[in-house]
Amino acid sequence: MLIGYARVSTEEQSLDLQIDALKQAGCEKVFHETASGARTERVQLKEAMEHLREGDTFVVWRLDRLGRSLRHLIDVVNTLEEHGIGFKSIQEGFDTTTNGGKLIFHIFGSLAEFERNLIRERTMAGLKSARARGRKGGRKPKLSAEQVAMAKKLMADRNNNPNEIAEMLGISRSTLYRVIG
């Protein structure tokens, strides 16, 4: 069974073109909604996914109607594949029920993984370079070394109230306990 999904981002846009194309492609049921592609929670997409059964094919008019990003698209198609469900995009001629379609999908997946690895390598190289120049990453400490020493000295005196010490230093009580550690 072919199950279709159509989406537009705003009320001003029309779903007609997508729905007509999905029906012409042979979709017996078409789920459609108006929702931004950036939204993670798309009710009709979720319903469509729950409606699909092994042996079905999930059809979209274009890839961008389904995925927010290449990574999201690959995740969705992998989930479908794990459940024995095919995926087809009308405009791109992409069909994972064929060997050629599976090949193209795996090439997309490899390219996405390659891109993620390049980003990770660049990030690590940038951090290494910054450390070599004496820069440390992360949040700056709330207290200077002198303030930490003063906090320890004040906390050593049991007559001092931790809440008052924290307020005087402009930090929370939990931060006070963490820095005197």
Q: What is the pTM of this model?
A: 0.62
Mean pLDDT of the region 67-89: 87
pLDDT tens sequence across 94-107: 899 899 888 888 88
For residue 13, name the pLDDT band (cuts at 50, 70, 90): confident
> 129 catalytic, yes or no?
no
For 18-65, the pLDDT digits (tens) are 999 999 999 999 999 988 766 667 889 999 999 999 999 999 998 888
- Closest of 97, 5, 17 to residue 57, by C-alpha: 97
Q: How far is CA 134 from CA 9, 75, 98, in A?
A: 47, 39, 54
pLDDT 10s digits, 63-75? 888 876 777 888 8
